[in-house]
Amino acid sequence: MTPAPSPETAIDTTAPLDGSTPRKRLFIRTWGCQMNVYDSGRMADVLAPLGYGPAETPEEADMVILNTCHIREKASEKVFSDLGRLRVMKEARAEAGQKMVLAVAGCVAQAEGKEITTRAPWVDIVLGPQTYHRLPEMVARAARAAGAQIDTDFPVEQKFDLLPQPRADQGPTAFLTIQEGCDKFCSFCVVPYTRGAEFSRPVAAIVAEARRLVAGGAREISLLGQNVNAWHGEGPGGATWTLSRLLYELAEIEGLARLRYTTSHPRDMDDDLIQAHGRIPQLMPFLHLPVQSGSDKILAAMNRGHQADLFFRITDQLREVRPDMAFTSDFIVGHPGEKAEDHAATMALVEKVGFALSYSFKYSARPGTPAAGQPFQVAEAEKDARLQELQALLRQQQDAFNLSCVGLECDILFTGTGRHPGQMAGRSPWLQPVHALGNADLVGRVARVKIAAAMPNSLSATLLDAKELTPA
Ligand code: SF4
């Protein structure tokens, strides 16, 4: 599972679905991966009929939800320090005779529900990722009863069947969760414990949601799942479909210019999916494929179920069918048992594959995961040195990739205005932020540009043809 590039994203919540004026204000702070961002949107949707509309800040909110991530120790500690600040706000509101409901959702809630209510007894609601559809009921119970309401079940009913449809007007780029949970039990990961077993949404529900998003203005859809390429949903007539078949189906939706999917596991990159990259023009030539380590010994200790060689084969094959393919990955340095030669194997893998962008972290023991109790923990100083070396190489590759784009003609999906007057902002096929001078009516359209310059984290471009490639 991949944390989003920014460790913390404050998400704007939505206005009531029925268009009425919100009577109460909701603030959701989201940490972690894009699936959490998607879930925060669903929680806002489920609370909208109760009269909750968006609050700009927690200070002005009647309800605050912290949607948490458990992937790194620091992330869960941030939750507790946020809860300390919220306590002060809640007490000030109470003195003024007003109520503030505090909820903790997401993976920290799932993994540490009891600890949250012990360490922060002023929290009203603790709910795990599988029970967001029960949020209105919990809000009502919290209003009636004293003490925290905790719901960290893995219920039999599927939340996707019970949550309201996401708002369709999410803008030119939209996320669509198609799969949740994981059965793989990597040694360092809490997802199988916090999100439960793999679940794949059925084809009909996904296609219907995708059509609504496109009708609402989405030109790009990113399919989400903790193990998205393990998706195996029920198709029409009860047959099980694979992700490649789903991608072909979604590519038929008129007006949908771009498709992406994340996060994938090398073990689930089957031949059909690889071939789909060469056959579906809407499928962007950019894949996030976490490898974690280049050492077969460490990959085995991580219980990843593949060796470095499989990663080389997949990336080679994808480049064969789609020569402009670029990759991003996740790396963990300092897994228990990692020696200097294992780290050297990771460096060699990075050199050989070449990445456009990557996320790398020091191993941190997550309570309850198998690696936490393993012997041969690597010293912090050693982890720091290895991480620095890896990140320097990854940064060099990222810069080289961005520089290689200068002079290139490519299509940009424009998503909004830029920081400077007359400037429009969009994304390249490889997800780089791109700026170009242009008119505001470019938003939501794909247009041809020539890349003029590469900055550290973005590109600037010149519009080649103001004639849009995708009609509004
Ligand atoms: S494949 Fe491994 S890292 Fe990814 S979600 Fe499953 S257990 Fe976690």
* Cα 186 to ligand 1 centre (Å): 5
Q: Do residues 10 and 84 both lie within one domain?
A: yes
pLDDT for residue 190 = 80
Task: Please check the confidence at residue 168 and state whether its pLDDT lies above 80.
Answer: no
Domain presence at residue 472: no
For residue 421, give its domain range. 409-467
| Nearest atom within ligand 1 for CA of residue 190 | 8
How far apart CA 40 and CA 45 sit, in angstroms, is 9
8 A C-beta contact, residue 65 and residue 40:
yes
Least confident of 125-129, 173-177, 192-196, 208-212: 192-196
Task: Please check the confidence at residue 49 and state whether its pLDDT lies above 90.
Answer: no
Q: Do residues 315 and 379 both lie within one domain?
A: yes
Query: Residue 449 maps to which CATH number?
Result: 2.40.50.140
Q: Is the CB of 191 under 6 A from ligand 1?
A: yes
pLDDT for residue 314 = 98
Domain presence at residue 86: yes
pLDDT 10s digits, 65-122: 999 888 766 767 888 899 999 999 999 988 888 889 999 998 888 888 888 888 999 9
pLDDT 10s digits, 323-357: 999 999 999 999 999 999 999 999 999 999 999 99
Q: Do residues 313 and 450 both lie within one domain?
A: no
The burial class, CB within 10 Å (0-12 / 13-18 / 19+), for 40 is: buried
Q: What is the mean pLDDT of residues 117-137?
A: 87
How far apart CA 180 and CA 171 sit, in angstroms, is 24
How far apart CA 269 and CA 230 sit, in angstroms, is 8
> Among 334, 158, 150, 329, which Cα is nearest to 233's?
158
Show Cβ contacts of residue 280 under 8 Å, excluding neighbours closer than 6 positions: 247, 248, 251, 259
Q: Which of 226, 231, 363 to mutate to test the pocket of ligand 1 (most atoms within 8 A of CB)?
A: 226
| Nearest atom within ligand 1 for CA of residue 304 | 2
Residue nearest to atom 8 of ligand 1 (CA): 189
Tokens of residue 329, six digits: 């990955």
Residue nearest to atom 4 of ligand 1 (CA): 1
Helix pair angle (308-321, 340-353), 10° resolution: 10
> Among 250, 288, 234, 232, which Cα is nearest to 430's?
288
Q: Is the CB of 1 under 6 A from ligand 1?
A: yes
Kind and range of the H or E run holding 159: helix 159-162
Q: Which of 33, 34, 70, 185 to mutate to test the pocket of ligand 1 (most atoms within 8 A of CB)?
A: 185
Reduce the DSSP state of residue 365 to 3 states and report it. Answer: coil
Q: Do residues 126 and 9 both lie within one domain?
A: yes
How many CB atoms are located within 10 Å of the residue 215 CB? 12
Least confident of 46-50, 112-116, 149-153, 414-418: 149-153
Counting the structural domains of the chain, the total is 3
Name beta bridge partners: 30.
9, 67
8 A C-beta contact, residue 198 and residue 181:
yes
Q: Do residues 143 and 163 both lie within one domain?
A: no
Indicate the pairing of strand 8-11 with strand 24-31.
Answer: antiparallel
Q: Do residues 295 and 419 both lie within one domain?
A: no
* Cα 324 to ligand 1 centre (Å): 27
Q: Do residues 238 and 212 both lie within one domain?
A: yes
Query: Residue 114 maps to which CATH number?
Result: 3.40.50.12160
| Nearest atom within ligand 1 for CA of residue 183 | 6
pLDDT for residue 108 = 85
Least confident of 304-308, 316-320, 341-345, 463-467: 463-467
Task: Please check the confidence at residue 15 and state whether its pLDDT lies above 50.
Answer: no
Task: Please check the confidence at residue 21 and state whether its pLDDT lies above 60.
Answer: no
* Cα 83 to ligand 1 centre (Å): 28
Q: What is the largest CA-CA distance in the chain?
A: 66
The burial class, CB within 10 Å (0-12 / 13-18 / 19+), for 34 is: buried
Q: What is the mean pLDDT of residues 391-397?
A: 97
How many CB atoms are located within 10 Å of the residue 173 CB? 21
Name beta bridge partners: 357.
328
pLDDT for residue 3 = 40
Task: Label residue 434 by pLDDT band (50, 70, 90).
Answer: very high
Q: Do residues 130 and 164 both lie within one domain?
A: no
Task: Please check the confidence at residue 406 and state whether its pLDDT lies above 60.
Answer: yes
Averaged pLDDT of the chain:
87
Q: Do residues 349 and 392 both lie within one domain?
A: yes
How far apart CA 419 and CA 422 sit, in angstroms, is 9
Task: Label residue 33 by pLDDT band (50, 70, 90).
Answer: confident
How far apart CA 175 and CA 106 sit, in angstroms, is 18
Q: Do residues 294 and 184 both lie within one domain?
A: yes
Query: Residue 306 maps to which CATH number?
Result: 3.80.30.20
Q: Is the CB of 185 under 6 A from ligand 1?
A: yes
Q: Is the CB of 226 under 6 A from ligand 1?
A: yes
Domain presence at residue 53: yes
How far apart CA 372 and CA 244 sit, in angstroms, is 36
How far apart CA 403 and CA 459 sit, in angstroms, is 9
Tokens of residue 91, six digits: 């007490």
Kind and range of the H or E run holding 356: none
Q: Which of 188, 262, 265 to mutate to test the pocket of ligand 1 (most atoms within 8 A of CB)?
A: 265
* Cα 301 to ligand 1 centre (Å): 14
* Cα 109 to ligand 1 centre (Å): 18
Query: DSSP letters along 416-433, please?
Result: EE-SSTTEEEEE-TT--E
By residue count, the chain amounts to 472
Kind and range of the H or E run holding 95: helix 73-95
Residue nearest to atom 1 of ligand 1 (CA): 184
Supply the pTM of this predicted model.
Answer: 0.80
How far apart CA 465 and CA 318 sit, in angstroms, is 30
User: How far is CA 379 from its chain centroid?
Assistant: 30
* Cα 147 to ligand 1 centre (Å): 34
* Cα 290 to ligand 1 centre (Å): 10
Convert 42-59 to b/e letters by CB count within 10 Å (16 or more is b): bbbbbbbebbbbbbeebe
Task: Label residue 167 by pLDDT band (50, 70, 90).
Answer: low
User: Which of 381, 402, 423 lies at the terminal end of a domain, its last residue?
Assistant: 402
User: Which of 125, 151, 177 lies at the terminal end of a domain, its last residue?
Assistant: 151
How far apart CA 225 and CA 245 sit, in angstroms, is 16
Tokens of residue 45, six digits: 């949707």
Q: Is the CB of 189 under 6 A from ligand 1?
A: yes
> Among 105, 110, 95, 117, which Cα is nearest to 38's?
105
> Among 58, 125, 137, which Cα is nearest to 90's?
58
Task: Please check the confidence at residue 54 and state whether its pLDDT lies above 50.
Answer: yes
pLDDT for residue 162 = 64
User: Which of 349, 375, 402 lies at the terminal end of a domain, its last residue?
Assistant: 402
Q: Is the CB of 192 under 6 A from ligand 1?
A: yes
Q: Do residues 81 and 164 both lie within one domain?
A: no
pLDDT for residue 9 = 34
Q: Tokens 């809000």 map to which residue?
A: 139
pLDDT for residue 166 = 67
Kind and range of the H or E run holding 220: strand 220-224
Q: Do residues 418 and 391 both lie within one domain?
A: no
How many CB atoms are located within 10 Å of the residue 84 CB? 11
* Cα 199 to ligand 1 centre (Å): 14
How far apart CA 115 and CA 223 sit, in angstroms, is 33
Q: Is the CB of 141 under 6 A from ligand 1?
A: no
How far apart CA 256 and CA 172 sit, in angstroms, is 10
> Among 297, 218, 299, which Cα is nearest to 260's?
218
